Amino acid sequence: MILSITVADTGAIDAVSIIQSSGKPEVDAGIMDLIRRQAPLPPPPPGAQRTYTPAISFGAS
């Protein structure tokens, strides 16, 4: 699963979207909800990156 997360200057989460699904709608919805519940984040420093694209893996490695 790959997400796109955009954080505002205030630490609010401006946007969360799925770039690549996990293939399981209930997992995708749960992860999206988990990310949204983390707001507000600490405000990022001036000039810091605001959009992140983390990859999330499930299962044993």
Integer Cα distance of 42 and 21 in angstroms: 27
On whether residue 59 sits in a domain, the answer given is no
Domain count along the chain? 1
pLDDT for 61 beyond 70: no
Residue 61 domain-assigned (yes or no): no
Instruction: Please write the tens of the pLDDT for every residue from 14-37.
Output: 999 999 999 999 999 999 999 999
Higher pLDDT, 61 or 51: 51
pTM of the model: 0.85
> Are 15 and 43 a contacting pair, CB within 8 Å?
no
Residue 27 lies in domain: 2-52
8 Å CB contact between 17 and 4: yes
Q: Does residue 17 sit within a domain?
A: yes
Q: Helix (H, G, I), strand (E, B), or coil: what is residue 32?
A: helix
Flag whether 13 is in a domain.
Answer: yes
Alpha helices in the chain (DSSP H): 25-36
- Tell me: pLDDT of 10 over 60: yes
Evaluate whether residue 58 is within a structural domain: no
pLDDT at 3: 96
